[in-house]
Amino acid sequence: MTIADLRIANADVVLPEGVRRVDLIVDGGVITEIVDPSVAVATTDVVDATGLHVLPGVVDPHVHLGPNITFPQSDADVSPETRSAAAGGVTTMLAYLMSPTPYHDVFPVAKQAMEASSVVDFGFHFCVVSRDQLDALPDYVRDLGVSSFKFFMNFRGEEGAYLGLPGNDDGFLFDLLQSCEANGAMLDPHAENIELVWRLRAAGLVEGRTALDSWNLARPDYVEAEALNRLAFLARVTGASVYAVHTTNALALDVLRQGRHAYENIFVESCPHYLTLDVDSPCGTYGKVNPPLRTASDREALWRAVAEGLVDTIGSDHVPRHRSFKEKDIWTASAGFPGLENLLPTLLSSGHNQRGLPLQRVAEISSTRPAQLFGLYPKKGVIAVGSDADLALVDLREEYVVHGADQLSASEYTPWEGETMTGRVRHTYVRGTRVFSVGQEFGAPTGRFLERRSSGATALEVSA
Ligand SMILES: [Zn+2]
């Protein structure tokens, strides 16, 4: 008789069909049985998880790593951020690699850095910024297992120069959509109409109620919504799958709802910060991000869109630049902030505990749906027999106060500083190995690269 590795016993487990008191049997990193607690199964280890809920490990589809958020190159780029991920119940992250040079050169460097230091599993998206990269897209899917691509609709003229990236136009976007469609890939565009931002800039900056409000007024909701409207139309014309990253506001949601009504392969991501922070939050310039934090009514529109299913996924848009880049005025502070460690806690605290968002819905938007859309399902994204034992064990009742100083990202701050969260990640397992427990040391890095041969509609067909 064979003996399995691990039993996670006496927890409430978030399964696709609902929350059930069942035990999980794990062997070789995979869930091999889901049994009633009364059923005897021989295992080497038993973890008594009484009082805890088990969710599928978070699949964070939106992470930036490395110097100036280009691509991870060293232990310092990877170790603190992936530990921060594990502490937030994240078991898989998809990181954006960003370079004007060919990804056949960049990819091995990033992959090696991650394999050497990551405590969670990982895949990549590539930011496509040049015609050469566009031409190589079929090879990226086939040779490198990368099937989703970022495009900056706002990088016109010199707008991307600060990241070393050339300008682009709608013609390039159209070609990129066609290539994604032809290769079973998905485009993840950053949607802002920069020409409308330039117009506002030329007219003179408007002082808002707060620094964050001034930033919001410089790149208002319609700047994002107009670009999404154009994107949805071009997706429909080309038949491409598109994924609206970091959606922030009610007007943008209206545009996406209409776009999806006409054409189904439009997918929507939002972020924990757009759901829980706004222009009146106390975080000040630490909360500067593109697109900007919006208003309280936009936050509530996003929660409704999460509940109704318009929002498919939640990504952290983690940016680990050090706090010193943020401790400036609102116009010169850098955009973006760390979020990996707070993604699941904000969904549990503000979503489940405060707004009654069902735990199955939390699991769908934080794990199942991103795994499905990015070609990882059902290996990732679900607690089911045959799936990887990637698990977040949480105490839904535990309260704690968020402090940047306690968090593991090298950025040394958080825009949620001082917020009380109800619902804490106690343990995180990746392929059956416990990689994080509150108050314990981390073990050796064991993160693995995940090849993804399709994304979007093609991935949904494969996983159905
Ligand atoms: Zn981003």
pLDDT digits (tens, 9 = 90+) for 402-447: 999 999 999 999 999 999 999 999 999 999 999 999 999 999 999 9
Residues 415, 283: contact at Cβ < 8 Å?
A: yes
Read off the DSSP letter of residue 346: H
Which pLDDT score is estimated for 206? 86
Closest by CA position to 458, among listed 367, 364, 374, 383: 374
Read off the DSSP letter of residue 337: B
Distance (Å) from CA 285 to ligand 1 centroid: 17
Comparing 205 with 345, the larger pLDDT belongs to: 345
Is the per-residue pLDDT at 299 higher than 70? yes
Distance (Å) from CA 311 to ligand 1 centroid: 17
Distance (Å) from CA 75 to ligand 1 centroid: 21
Is the per-residue pLDDT at 93 higher than 70? yes
Contacts of 279 (CB under 8 A, 6+ apart): 208, 209, 210, 212, 213, 215, 216, 292, 293, 294, 295
pLDDT digits (tens, 9 = 90+) for 236-278: 999 999 999 999 999 999 999 999 999 999 999 999 999 999 9
Helix (H, G, I), strand (E, B) or coil at 104: helix
User: CA-CA distance, 16 to 12, in Å (whole number)?
Assistant: 13
String of DSSP letters for 228-285: HHHHHHHHHHHT-EEEE-S---HHHHHHHHHHHHH-S-EEEEE-HHHHH--TTSTTGG
Which pLDDT score is estimated for 462? 81
Distance (Å) from CA 62 to ligand 1 centroid: 6
What is the residue type of 209?
R
Distance (Å) from CA 439 to ligand 1 centroid: 30
Domains plus CATH for the chain?
A: 57-382 (3.20.20.140)
Which pLDDT score is estimated for 105? 95
Q: At what angle do helices 221-238 and 194-203 cross, to 10 degrees?
A: 160
Strands in 71-218 per DSSP E: 90-98, 121-127, 148-152, 186-190
Distance (Å) from CA 63 to ligand 1 centroid: 7
pTM: 0.97
pLDDT band at 1 (very low <50, low <70, confident <90, very high): low
Distance (Å) from CA 271 to ligand 1 centroid: 10
Q: What percent of the chain has pLDDT over 70?
A: 100
Distance (Å) from CA 316 to ligand 1 centroid: 8
Distance (Å) from CA 137 to ligand 1 centroid: 20
Which whole-number Å values give the CA distances from 376 to 108, 146, 269, 456, 459, in the listed order? 21, 11, 17, 11, 8
